[in-house]
Chain A
Amino acid sequence: MTELARPVARDVDDVAKRRYLESTGPRRFVRFWREFIRRRPLGTAGAALIILMLLTAAFADRIAPYDPVEIRFSDLLQGPSLQHLLGTDPFGRDVFSRIVYGSRTALLVGFSASFVGCTLGLVLGVVGAYFGGKVDQLVQRLMDVLLSFPLIVIAIAVVAALGTGEDKIANVIAAITVPIIPRVARVVRSSALSIVNMPYIEATRAVGSGAVRIMFRHIAPNVFAPYLIMLTAFLGQAILLEASLSFLGLGVFEPTPSWGLMLRGAGMQFLEQAPWLAIAPGVAISLAVFGFNLFGDSLRDALDPRLRTA
């Protein structure tokens, strides 16, 4: 009996030890992603697309065969060939190089707008849920106003007020951030409401923690899952919005390479003559947004399946 029992006991010890080690931060992280890759093929495909895009943006200067803003009048509107993989635009600029560099613009706008918008939304949502009453009412009404306000007016106003130009990319980011805030604030508020009344919050208060500490040390980490999910979801949306605004002439300006901007002028004008001008940037936008959406969806399924972000 004892001979038999010893190895079992050691196994139990081992299992317990392994479980403990696995439950530490980095291990849990690795296990989560291993599980994610195995069980969610679509999400993994999305992650692969995102990584591809990040690499493209990081090594744009090595990947792009030409300077994206260099104008060459000898190569106007050339079709796709080995020299110009995706042809050239009416200024003789290489479309492939512009698309490669455009990933920087898309990621910069997408990430900044989504990060700022989601974080402001998180703060407003937590503050509203924690204080309740008049503060909550006020925050909610403000969010209603932002929700029902047409984005396009904000975008035009921001662009008109702050001016246009090559280095005014912050304007686009500001315009795209605004509609994200109320959407995040709503979701975070409803998640935070269920936490505010939990006993441990009361305990924290009894120990003498201040409101700020309770909100951001004890409540915010518990709404981190929806925050992360919305961050990826709105990243894709922000890239899409940037494309739409640039297409309307209200976003990024020439000569900055931006996918939406590439569709705007030449894409529309030379639709029949040079269809590659309209097809290539659209494919780039779609792939990028597709990647973030796929990944965001699977992340939601893995972290918080009941959350609804349309």
Chain B
Amino acid sequence: MRRYVAGRLLLMIPTLVGVAILTFVIMRAVPGDIVALKYAGSPVPQSVIDEERHQLGLDKPMWAQFTDWMGEIAHFDLGTSLWTGHPVVDEILVRLPLSLELAIIATLLAITIAVPLGVLAAVRQDTWTDYAIRLFSIGGLAMPSFWIGLLMVLATITLFGWAPPLVFTAITDDPIANLSQMVLPALSVGYRYSAVSMRMTRSTVLEVLREDYVRTARAKGVRESVVVLRHALRNALLPVVTVISLEFAFLIGGLVVTEQVFNLNGIGKLLVDAVAHRDYTLIQALVLLLASVFVLINFVVDMVYVVLDPRIRYS
């Protein structure tokens, strides 16, 4: 087990190095760097541009820029943003609470909707209840969450004359204002999210319900509710946990469009802005951060498996 954990942790390194190289190469393959974009169309002499490139270290050869960056990473230094001049860590930390909060609320929402409905659909397989729940969940997968968001904004404007506020209030300043701001985005994201988890719950519960030990439990005269909740659901939860955690990892950086609709200033927007500005340090740090979150959550899920299901042993 210990060897397995160590092996898994070591395997993260090549993946993350791969992500780092890919980001680095992709961003430099994109035409125009930050200096060129900044002075585009303005009559600035070439010497000023060269001077600025030199200050930012953009005139060094590619491999030197890459090794510099890797050296900084090894010292846990993410550098400063080329665009704002602030440390990258600060730029990220300002946005992270919003993205994290949204992801957490959406996750809670998804679990409370998905697990009961998924179980219900499985127990009532091929009845109208099942069809209705499946339609509801496939609908969640089909409707773009940003469009649901648009419709919700439209509905609140026309029905209540209320529009989402333009400035973000932190939960520590005013919990109620913060939550009223988060509720619509969380709903619009949570619907899709719960649809994904609901489908997984349904199919795994169905699978487990066909197992011999479920038949044994029924034969013993165990009540059906206990059979479903204690025997089947517990064993069906593993893949559901995986889906939920991977979605969670995605939510932290992947809500670019929803953030745009609700005018939220989260990690997704930061990433888009950073790419638009060719803010190399910020992009590299963000992509690496998001990839690390993804890889780490993957790892944690595998470890949680061992806790949830004692039959699983890694070697």
Contacts and interface: CB of A to CB of B under 8 A. Distances in A.
| Most chain A CB inside 10 Å of its own CB: which residue of B139, B239, B257 | B257
A244 B271 contact: no
A271 interface: yes
B92 to A, nearest CB: 14
A285 B15 contact: no
Interface in A30-61: 41-42
Contact of B26 (A148, A153, A275, A294): A153
A184 interface: no
B116 to A, nearest CB: 19
B130 to A, nearest CB: 10
Interface string B13-46: 0110011001100110111100000000000000
A6 to B, nearest CB: 43
Interface in A248-266: 248, 260, 263
B219 interface: no
A202 to B, nearest CB: 27
Contacts of A248: 256-257, 260, 272
Nearest to B15: A144
B287 interface: yes
A165 to B, nearest CB: 14
Given A150-B253, A308-B200, A293 B141 contact: yes
A243 interface: yes
B26 A154 contact: yes
B271 A152 contact: yes
Contact of A153 (B135, B158, B283): B283
A144 B283 CA distance: 19
A240 B142 CA distance: 8
Interface residues of A, number: 46
Contacts of A144: 15, 18, 295
Interface stretch (B63-71, B97-105, B145-153): B145-153
Q: Is the interface of A mostly helix, strand, loop or mixed?
A: helix
Nearest to B139: A290
A272 B30 contact: no
B63 to A, nearest CB: 20
A141 interface: yes
A306 B203 CA distance: 8
Contacts of A147: 294
Contacts of B217: none
A272 B256 contact: no
Interface in B259-295: 260-261, 268, 271-272, 275-276, 283, 287, 290-291, 294-295
Interface in B162-221: 196, 199-200, 203, 207
A297 B225 CA distance: 28
A310 B199 contact: yes
B187 to A, nearest CB: 16
B15 A42 contact: no
B229 interface: no
B154 interface: yes
A268 interface: yes
Contacts of B283: 153
B154 A278 contact: yes
A142 B11 CA distance: 12
A201 interface: no
B15 A282 contact: no
A234 to B, nearest CB: 12
Contacts of A240: 142, 144
B9 to A, nearest CB: 14
Contacts of A156: 30, 272, 275-276
23 contacts: A42-B134, A42-B135, A141-B14, A141-B18, A148-B290, A148-B295, A149-B23, A149-B291, A151-B254, A152-B254, A160-B30, A160-B32, A160-B275, A248-B272, A263-B146, A278-B150, A286-B139, A286-B144, A287-B142, A288-B142, A293-B138, A308-B239, A310-B243
The 10 closest A-B pairs by CB, nearest first: A145-B18, A290-B142, A282-B147, A289-B142, A148-B291, A148-B294, A160-B30, A144-B15, A156-B275, A286-B143
Interface of B: 11, 14-15, 18-19, 22-23, 26-27, 29-32, 131, 134-135, 138-139, 141-144, 146-147, 150-151, 153-154, 157-158, 196, 199-200, 203, 207, 239, 243, 253-254, 256-257, 260-261, 268, 271-272, 275-276, 283, 287, 290-291, 294-295
